[in-house]
Amino acid sequence: MATSTSVIPNSVIPSTVNPDLQKERDGATVRSDEFAAWWAGGEEVLKFNRGVRKYLEKDVDTLEMLQLQNKTHEEIIEFSTRGAIEGAKKLRRLQEERNPRGEDYWPNLYDNQVMWGLVPGGNPFGVMYVMLVKALQAQCTPEQYADFGKRLERFEICGTYAQTELGHGTYLRGLETRADFDRKTDEFVLNTPKISSYKWWPGGLGHSSNHCLVMAQLYIDDKCKGPHMFFIQVRDEDTHEPLPGVHIGDIGKKMGFIGVNNGFLGLKNVRIPRTRMLMRHAQVKADGSYVSSPTNVLTYFAMVRTRCLIARNNAIMLAAASTIATRYSAVRRQSPIDPNEREPQIIDHVTQQMKLFPEIATSVAYRQASNYLWNLYDVTIQDIANGKYERLPELHSLSCALKVTCSMDSTSGVEKLRLACGGHGYLTSSNMSNIYVSATAACTYEGENTVLLLQIGRFLMKTWRAALTGAPLPPTVRYLAEVQKNPEFGTWTGSWENMVKAMQYAAANKTRLAFKSLSNRLSRGETETNSANHTGIEFTQAAELHGRAFVFSAFTEVVTGAKSKTRSANLNQVLENLLELYLVKETLNQMGHLLRFINLTDTDLSRLQDRLETVLTKLRPDAVAIVDGFDFSDLQLNSTLGSYDGNAYERIFDAALKNPMNQKAVPKSFHEILKPFMKSNI
């Protein structure tokens, strides 16, 4: 060690809770367990989650997890693989012990938050259960799923979902991987014709998959039928060697998801049986005849589910960062407010509260909005099973909108929270950097945000046009028709209901203006595609406001709706404070758009500022109890700053002592490089 252990012990972490943090818990108006039960979805759900998490995390070295960033790329992949497989083993044992014929533990929880602590660098088999198994369940015929889908679900084989290419991402019709049907052999022949055609980015593809679901352009008699899914084997099941015609490997280190083993895949004349094309909706017969899917969206439905998951997960990431920064702000003392008094907890500074509390409120808002989205997803799944596809456009648009706004807001929010931790937030042991790069990745994967906003914009144009004809609209866009019927906003009152209406009104009028611009360009003779391109900025603005209007509405309904009668007065007051903060701060953030359409006076704006400052004061006593109610374990947070005991300084120091650089008093570079240079005559 660089310093004698007789001077500084091997571990300096006390066994007691920081008194400032304990004081916060003792002084809260709401019990953290009550908030946790609400956050989880009920007492029984909370109890279940905690029981599973305790089982998964026993015998795991929390302090070792803090050293993840000190490992090499290869060591990180091996470490993540070991953690993922240990988690799978434990979930299987739980399933066998508690419900042998069920799936509530394994595999249902493998992509759940309870697994996060075991794989801080990401799960190399996460995509297999988040996307691949779900895609096979939705797209395979029953015979196909029995043939190879079940093997994957049981983890007898391992695989990933390969769609993105080196040269193409969100624009699926531009994918270059092709699958040509060979009638003579009743096979498809798959090729990636050039470097830009290589599959690039799939999680777990590098060295953690022996099978792959490949999105490729289907060709019959050299005529393209569009993107379809093909299940192929890429590695030998016993030796794990790549099969003939398969070029596969890891794409290298990334900013985040450092343990996920993202990979590349090249194919050269790889042949698979015709029955390896997923054929629940579209089919290719042995004679080469083609039966198209009833709707093209079904081909991409796995991405819709993943976007729903992103909205939920990014809300949870923001909650995790909020927990770390809030607990740290309760134990850090600095910069006297009154020079005659002791340095205060930095959480007492109003400017610090403004960094912390809005992000807590935002995470809660997005979590509630994502719950609505998941309910819509479940209903749509049932509709599809019954041959009904009417909800698909709304679900697609809403999942895009929430994915975009939640990824944007969580990314910026985590960065604000890192800054709220001062210099120590810059340590990798704070885990703020890992949370940030995980959050910001969602701005790009499963549809780059700008591209998704443009898709939402086109949906809004169709919906606006439909509303003009009096056609019925899906629930989440009915406000467009209401604004068409009642074009005047009325009086600004500043009530919650009024603020929801204002955000919808701004979104509707942004949609109206975009529709007007699009129509003007079409009337001047521009093509539909060029008109849409030239109206793209207005599309994205309308789309973003549409997403924000939905969050306003969903969060307000949760807090003020019928279920509020089942909650305690104290919990309701805390939720109302969070709602007040979210609506007021986001209304102020979007004031540039609102003022264009709604007449707000200087007095109205001053009142909003007063409300903002007032609700920060109201939330101050409950901030720690709320983030405790997010119910993260120390292993899940993996942070020296955010542990439950609040011993931040000792944990920072302990992590530094365990740094590999400090295991020798003198580094090799001193003798080989530094000392010879200093002793030279140069």
Contact between 267 and 190 (Cβ < 8 Å): yes
Average pLDDT value over all residues in the chain: 95
Residue 552 is part of which domain span? Answer: 448-620
pLDDT mean over 431-455: 96
Lowest mean pLDDT among 58-62, 170-174, 509-513: 170-174
Q: Tell me: is residue 159 an annotated ligand-binding position.
A: no
Q: How confident is the model at residue 6 (pLDDT cuts 50, 70, 90)?
A: very low
Show which residues are catalytic.
446
Q: Is residue 337 part of a domain?
A: yes
The owner of tokens 């039960």 is 37
Q: Which helix (H) or strand (E) holds 596?
A: helix 591-597
Read off the CATH number of the domain in which 488 is found. Answer: 1.20.140.10
Pair (286, 311) in one structural domain:
no
Pair (484, 396) in one structural domain:
no
Higher-pLDDT residue of 659 and 326 is 326
- SS3 of 425, please? helix
Contact between 345 and 333 (Cβ < 8 Å): yes
Q: Which long-range contacts (CB under 8 A, 24 or more apart) does 173-179 make?
A: 173/226, 173/227, 175/215, 175/216, 175/217, 175/227, 176/217, 177/214, 177/215, 177/216, 177/217, 177/267, 178/216, 178/217, 178/218, 178/219, 179/214, 179/216, 179/217, 179/218, 179/219, 179/228, 179/230, 179/277
Pair (216, 331) in one structural domain:
no
Q: Is residue 664 part of a domain?
A: no
**pLDDT above 90 for 67:** no
**pLDDT above 60 for 604:** yes
pLDDT score recorded for residue 287: 96
Domain termination residue (choose one: 589, 620, 651): 620
> With pLDDT > 90 as the criterion, what percentage of the chain qualifies?
91
Q: How confident is the model at residue 3 (pLDDT cuts 50, 70, 90)?
A: very low
Q: Is residue 648 part of a domain?
A: no
Neighbours of 267 (CB within 10 A): 29
pLDDT score recorded for residue 10: 60
pLDDT score recorded for residue 545: 98
Domain termination residue (choose one: 447, 469, 485): 447
DSSP letters along 242-282, please?
A: BPTTEEEEE----SS-TTS--EEEEESSEEEEGGGB--SSS
Pair (411, 552) in one structural domain:
no
Pair (47, 190) in one structural domain:
no
Pair (520, 488) in one structural domain:
yes
pLDDT score recorded for residue 2: 42
Whole-angstrom distance, CA of residue 461 vs CA of residue 518: 9
> With pLDDT > 70 as the criterion, what percentage of the chain qualifies?
98
pLDDT score recorded for residue 5: 37
pLDDT score recorded for residue 303: 83
Pair (337, 471) in one structural domain:
no
Q: Is residue 20 part of a domain?
A: no
Burial string for 477-486 (b: 16+ CB within 10 Å, else e) reads bebbbebeee
- SS3 of 211, please? strand
Whole-angstrom distance, CA of residue 86 vs CA of residue 89: 5
**pLDDT above 70 for 1:** no
pLDDT mean over 245-255: 97
Whole-angstrom distance, CA of residue 540 vs CA of residue 454: 6
Residue type, 23: K
Report residue 365 as tokens: 């808002």
Q: Which helix (H) or strand (E) holds 216?
A: strand 211-220
**pLDDT above 90 for 300:** no
Whole-angstrom distance, CA of residue 579 vs CA of residue 586: 11
Whole-angstrom distance, CA of residue 453 vs CA of residue 546: 10
pLDDT digits (tens, 9 = 90+) for 143-184: 999 999 999 999 999 999 999 999 998 788 899 999 999 999
pLDDT score recorded for residue 261: 96
pLDDT digits (tens, 9 = 90+) for 74-101: 999 999 999 999 999 999 999 999 999 9
Pair (601, 458) in one structural domain:
yes
**pLDDT above 90 for 210:** yes
- Label residue 293 exposed, middle or buried (CB < 10 Å: 0-12, 13-18, 19+): middle
**pLDDT above 50 for 289:** yes
Pair (372, 475) in one structural domain:
no
Report residue 300 as tokens: 């991409």
Q: How confident is the model at residue 64 (pLDDT cuts 50, 70, 90)?
A: confident
Query: How many domains would you assign to the chain?
Result: 4
pLDDT mean over 335-354: 95
Q: Tell me: is residue 167 an annotated ligand-binding position.
A: no
pLDDT digits (tens, 9 = 90+) for 586-601: 999 999 999 999 999 9
Q: How confident is the model at residue 669 (pLDDT cuts 50, 70, 90)?
A: very high
**pLDDT above 80 for 7:** no
Whole-angstrom distance, CA of residue 124 vs CA of residue 209: 9
Q: Is residue 141 part of a domain?
A: no
Whole-angstrom distance, CA of residue 438 vs CA of residue 435: 5
Report residue 196 as tokens: 């830009």
pLDDT mean over 295-300: 73
Report residue 394 as tokens: 């709304």
Q: What is the 3-state secondary structure (H, E, C) of 607-636?
A: HHHHHHHHHHHHHHHHHHHHHHHCCCCHHH
Pair (272, 337) in one structural domain:
no
Identify any residues that bridge with 199 across adjacent strands, giving them in sequence order. 165, 265
pLDDT score recorded for residue 682: 62
Pair (395, 412) in one structural domain:
yes
Residue type, 340: N
Lowest mean pLDDT among 234-243, 353-362, 511-520, 651-660: 651-660
Pair (315, 410) in one structural domain:
yes
Read off the CATH number of the domain in which 222 is found. Answer: 2.40.110.10
Q: Is residue 2 part of a domain?
A: no
Q: Is residue 647 part of a domain?
A: no
pLDDT score recorded for residue 9: 54
Give residues with Cβ within 8 angstroms of 553, minimum separation 6. Answer: 500, 504
Q: Is residue 128 part of a domain?
A: no
- Label residue 641 exposed, middle or buried (CB < 10 Å: 0-12, 13-18, 19+): buried
Domain termination residue (choose one: 74, 102, 123): 123
